[in-house]
Structure 1
Amino acid sequence: MLFARRTETDEPVVAMLASAIRRDISFGALRPDEKLKIDGLRQRYGGSSHSMRETLRMLVSEGMVEAINQRGFRVTSATEDDLADILLMRLEVEKLGLARAMAHGGVAWEAAVIAAHHQMMRAETALQNAPDDASVLTWDEACRGYTLTLVSACGSPRLIEMTGRFYNQSRRFRLARLREGRIDLHSRQLRHEALKAAVLERNTQDALLHLEEDIRADLRG
């Protein structure tokens, strides 16, 4: 056998480790191009050598970590070219997903969009009232949930998976902009109200325009 199958026992540990490392990459605790050594990561996050290697392989597949020519792993770079490429992919993937979801989604999908939007707005209000690490994390997770809900009725599991993958890759850029005060949360709320209204009215053209405007504003301003 060339590849060992991950056991059911490993899966919760790997998911937990991946979530913690993914979060620290997004928040800048693990810096772009930083080398990731198995022993050091185990001391910081726990887990066995095997589970940590599985975790890093998962993060490589997501584009959060790079394998270095059989010499280990490092955090992926975060250059202007990286940002431009991630922006391109988010626009292409999310607009396709939303268009398909608007064509195929029913009342249950509309209700899910309304609920996810409400959760995101509550998190945004909490962030404005108390901008600490916990509220930033809650807000970012709510934003991710809303993004995935918008495409959830597209009928393509791979398209949904790609939406989550490229959103994760964009997180450190948008969170850096948030820390620098370069995301206008009031303007963002207005954009999302307009996006929600267009979605519920099934106005695909306006919805896609609002979605593109929001993604660009979050990542480029």
Structure 2
Amino acid sequence: MEIRVFGFKNDDAATVVQFIAEHVRRDISFGVLPPDSRLKIEDLRQRYGGSAHSFREALTLLANEGIVEASSQRGFRVASASQADLEDVTRLRAEIEGLGLKWSMKHGAVRWEGELIAARHAVDRADRMVMDDIDALALEWDEANREFHAVLVSRCNSPRLIEFQSRLFFESRRFRFAVLKERAIEPERLKDMRNRLVDAVLARNDQQATEALERLILEPFGAPGN
């Protein structure tokens, strides 16, 4: 019997798992699935469709990203999102991305600089547009942010650092969306901080670049960098 989940056939299991994971990830990010809530497989199947096996695989994937917690005795639950969690993930992001940026500045050439300038343009545009329709454009806005920060560390020559940076970015998504929903982001302020960051990168000024990156990561959450 052929089963379809979100329009996919059951012979495309990996795609189904990825698609389920994206839907659950989105609902966690938007608070539809609140912090610390239990993720019961049967309840999720009723909400999204799909097999129990696919959901176990998807939740395991999200657990590896840090936004879901897995326990052999209690199953799965949404990771907590306290003020302490916010401070931990943002400060760690600043440290890891700062290190990755320093390494990228040593190895990145003209092509990397062009990618960074293009990513800055895209995220500046996303900042301006998202304020007109937050619900519809939040994910597009966050993807533009993800791409900009990914480019910053993309030439660091450390796959492990890049993987960890990506995980921390996803872990902090819920906090970014909370700031966005409160309309607490300031597009012109963010644009100015990114300009300072990119200018320092192009000048190959490690200290100014990492300081600007730290401010860019921490300041939107009310924790200015040193």
Asked if these proteins are the same fold (TM beyond 0.5), I'd say yes
1:141 offset after TM fit, Å? 1.0
Secondary structure of 1:74's aligned partner = strand
- What pairs with 1:106-145 in structure 2 (closer than 5 Å)? 106-128=109-131, 130-145=132-147
Partner of 1:217: 219
Instruction: Quote how far apart the aligned CAs of 1:183 are.
Output: 2.3
1:64 to 2:67 alignment: yes
Q: Which amino acid aligns with 1:60?
A: A
Distance 1:219 1:171 in 2: 12
Amino acid at match of 1:151: V
Q: Secondary structure at the match of 2:73?
A: coil
The CA deviation at 1:122 is 1.5
Residue 161 (structure 1) aligns with: 163
SS in 1 for 2:172: helix
Within 2, Cα distance between the matches of 1:220 and 1:172?
15
**Once the 2 structures are TM-superposed, how far is the Cα of residue 34 of structure 1 from its aligned partner?**
0.9
User: What amino acid maps onto 1:159 in structure 2?
Assistant: L
Which digits, 9 at most, give the CA deviation of each residue in 1:107-152, with x for residues without a partner? 1111111111111111112113x13312222111100111111101
The 2-side partners of 1:47 and 1:134 are apart by 25
How far does residue 191 in structure 1 lie from its aligned partner after superposition?
0.4
- Aligned to 1:216, the other structure's residue is in SS state helix
Instruction: Name the amino acid aligned to 1:146.
Output: F
For structure 2, the residue ranges without an aligned partner over 5 or more in a row are 1-10
- The two structures, once aligned, show a CA RMSD in angstroms of 1.7
Quick one: which of 12, 16, 19 aligns to 2:15?
12
Which secondary structure state, in structure 1, belongs to the residue aligned with residue 184 of structure 2? coil
- Cα drift, residue 81 of structure 1: 1.5
Residue 28 of structure 1: aligned partner: 31
Q: Is the 8 A contact 2:124 2:187 kept in 1?
A: no
TM-score by length of 2: 0.89
For the residues of structure 2 that align with 1:126 and 1:184, how far apart are their CA atoms? 12
* Alpha-carbon distance in 2 for matches of 1:40, 1:87: 32
CA contact (8 A) 1:97 1:151 kept: yes
Matched residue pairs, number?
214
Determine which of 43, 46, 50 is the counterpart of 1:43.
Answer: 46
Which residue number in structure 2 is paired with residue 201 of structure 1?
203
Runs of 5+ consecutive residues of structure 1 not aligned to the other structure: 1-7
Q: Counterparts of 1:72 and 1:143 in 2: how far apart (Å)?
A: 32
Deviation at 1:24, TM superposition (A): 1.4
Amino acid at match of 1:174: R
TM-score by length of 1: 0.91
Question: After TM superposition, where is structure 1 displaced by more than 6 Å over at least 4 residues in a row?
Answer: none
C-alpha distance in 2 between matches for 1:21 and 1:88: 26
**Letter of the 1:82 counterpart:** D
Task: Work out whether residues 28 and 172 of structure 1, in 8 Å CA contact, stay in contact via their aligned partners in 2.
Answer: yes
- Secondary structure of 1:103's match? helix
> How big is the shift at 1:218?
2.4
Deviation at 1:32, TM superposition (A): 0.3
Matched to 2:206, the amino acid is T
Q: Which amino acid aligns with 1:205?
A: Q
For residue 121 of structure 1, give the secondary structure of its aligned residue in structure 2: helix
Q: What does residue 173 of structure 1 align with? A: 175
Counterpart CA distance in 2 for 1:103 and 1:194 is 19
Q: Which residue of 2 aligns with 1:96?
A: 99
Distance (Å, rounded) in 1 between the aligned partners of 2:148 and 2:124 = 10
